């Protein structure tokens, strides 16, 4: 799987004690759990981890994973083994906006490498890094299903497609001005299919 660093974060008991879903997030979590038969609440793990990641700063700390285990009444290791398998879960801190540029075939055929290089230069970071102000993290992603509207990047719930340098400039400006955390679970999203 991806080159995520895991197992390097230490566990802080004091931090753990402070972690709790907001009332609204807890309601969402309960709705998710209710989709599955009695006793099968572990099935809710993937969607609940998305909620947790959005709720607790864009990444899953050991304390957050421990909390999710408690909420779903499963073992912490069951949470970690899932969180470390799937690419959408961050096991270390990221910027408020993670720009994920698709780099697979059709996107590559349409200039994805140039988009990556352009963003690297513009934000003065390399792939995998976060800007000093904590605003942007740049990642490359494997096929995101926008092959017909390549090149593209995903940021939170939004798909930005048919990218040009001008479009990249505009969306970075927009995200910087808004300055908020972008999550996959965002209810507002942009797409151009």
Nearest to 69, CA basis, from 82, 79, 61 = 79
Distance CA 182, CA 155 (A): 7
**62 is a contact residue toward another protein (CB under 8 A):** no
The kind and range of the H/E element at 168 are helix 165-178
| Residue 13: CB minimum distance to another protein, A | 26
Residue 148 burial by CB count (10 A; 0-12/13-18/19+): exposed, middle or buried?
exposed
**128 is a contact residue toward another protein (CB under 8 A):** no
Which of the residues 33 through 52 are near another protein (CB under 8 A)? Answer: 35, 37, 40, 42-47, 49-50
Among 91, 144, 153, 171, binds another protein (CB under 8 A): 144
**99 is a contact residue toward another protein (CB under 8 A):** no
Q: What is the DSSP letter of 10?
A: P
Among 103, 123, 125, 155, binds another protein (CB under 8 A): 103
**57 is a contact residue toward another protein (CB under 8 A):** no
**193 is a contact residue toward another protein (CB under 8 A):** yes
**81 is a contact residue toward another protein (CB under 8 A):** yes
Count of CB atoms situated within 10 Å of the CB of 11: 12
Q: How far is CA 43 from CA 28, 69, 140, in A?
A: 15, 12, 28
- Preceding peptide of 156 cis, ω within 30°: no
Residue number, 64 or 115, with CB nearest to another protein: 115
Residues forming contacts to another protein in the complex (CB under 8 A) are 1-2, 35, 37, 40, 42-47, 49-50, 72, 74, 78, 81-82, 85-89, 103-106, 108-115, 117-118, 121, 141-151, 154, 157-159, 164-165, 184-185, 187, 189, 191, 193
């Amino acid at each position: 799987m991806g080159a995520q660093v895991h197992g390097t974060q230490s566990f802080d008991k004091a931090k753990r004690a402070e972690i709790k879903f907001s009332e609204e997030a807890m309601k969402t979590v309960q709705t998710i759990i209710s989709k599955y038969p009695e006793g099968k609440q572990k099935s809710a793990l993937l969607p609940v981890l998305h909620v947790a990641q959005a709720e607790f700063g864009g990444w899953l700390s050991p304390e957050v994973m421990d909390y999710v285990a408690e909420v779903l009444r499963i073992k912490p290791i069951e949470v970690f083994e899932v969180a470390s398998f799937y690419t959408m879960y961050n096991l270390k801190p990221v910027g408020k906006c993670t720009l994920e540029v698709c780099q697979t075939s059709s996107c590559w055929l349409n200039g994805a490498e140039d988009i990556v290089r352009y963003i690297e230069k513009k934000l003065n970071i390399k792939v995998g890094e976060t800007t000093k102000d904590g605003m942007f993290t740049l990642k490359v992603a494997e096929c995101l299903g926008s092959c017909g509207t390549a090149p593209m990047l995903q940021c939170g719930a939004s798909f930005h497609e048919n990218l040009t340098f001008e479009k990249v400039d505009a969306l970075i400006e927009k995200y910087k001005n808004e300055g908020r955390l972008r999550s996959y679970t965002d209810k507002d999203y942009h797409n151009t299919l």
